[in-house]
Amino acid sequence: MTLDDIDRILTRLDATDVTECVIENGSETLRVKFDRATDRVSDAIQTKPAAVAVEARTAVANAPASGLFRSVHPLVHEDKGDGSATCAVRAGQHVGYVEVDSIFCAILAPADGIRKTVLVDEGELIGYGQTIVELSIDTSEAAGHGND
């Protein structure tokens, strides 16, 4: 782990409500503990990272963990494009993955809607709670699209 890696990790973690983090890479271990205000930590415990309403007809899917963004699971063999195309999604459907070591954590759609924007690039380091995908939850628009 280089100093640049550690700097990127700390920058990402500092932008979240995470209070402690342990990262092991072979024989190296990085332990980080942030001194957060008590009310900010309690807010983080009460909110779910999976979905946050941005405006009345928009929802976002947030990262459930820190790691590398992957648009498709490595065991899926069919070509689904680059993952940035606009398509209909259902609540709970996988809209991407966070790769942590060899584990892939699903990023779930918070509601039925249309995937409008993927805000990160394939393989990009993402942080816990970071907004990954924006969805339009306009039901009239969702009726006109099929899953691609």
- CATH code of the domain in which 113 resides: 2.40.50.100
Q: Are residues 54 and 35 in the same domain?
A: no
Range of the domain at 40: 1-47
Helices and strands in the chain, H and E counts: 3, 11
Helix (H, G, I), strand (E, B) or coil at 53: strand
> What is the enclosing helix (H) or strand (E) of 10?
helix 3-14
Residue 26 neighbours by CB under 8 Å, 6+ apart = none
Q: Are residues 2 and 35 in the same domain?
A: yes
Domains held by the chain: number: 2
| pLDDT given at position 34 | 75
Q: What is the pTM of this model?
A: 0.54
pLDDT tens-digit profile of 4-45? 877 787 777 777 777 788 888 778 888 888 776 544 444 444
Q: Are residues 76 and 23 in the same domain?
A: no
d(CA 43, CA 102): 30
Q: Are residues 69 and 121 in the same domain?
A: yes
